[in-house]
Amino acid sequence: MMDESEKYVRVHCGQSGAYQPGREYVYRYEGHVLSGVPKMSNQFAGLKIGCDVVLQFQRGFNVIAKVRHSSMYD
């Protein structure tokens, strides 16, 4: 069952040598974005983002990519 925080995308994988079919690989991504006018003020507005990306390799060159637990903080 898919919950609201998961988005599914089917992509075509060009090279499968680094990954094994039938396995799941999980990657955690985090980043932040700042916006402001450095020469005018030392104040900035920012946003921190994060998510887990799950790759499930199928037969052939197919992989299912899932984005889970995406979040934004100010």
Average pLDDT for 32-57: 89
Q: How many domains are there within the chain? A: 1
Which of the pair, 12 or 65, is modelled with greater confidence?
65
User: 22, 14, 15: which is closest to 55 by C-alpha?
Assistant: 22
pLDDT of 71 higher than 50: yes
pLDDT of 3 higher than 70: no
In a domain, 54, yes or no: yes
In a domain, 2, yes or no: no
Type of residue at 63: V
CA distance 73 to 41: 22
Range of the domain at 27: 7-73
DSSP summary character for residue 43? -
In a domain, 1, yes or no: no
Q: How many CB atoms lie within 10 A of CB 54?
A: 16
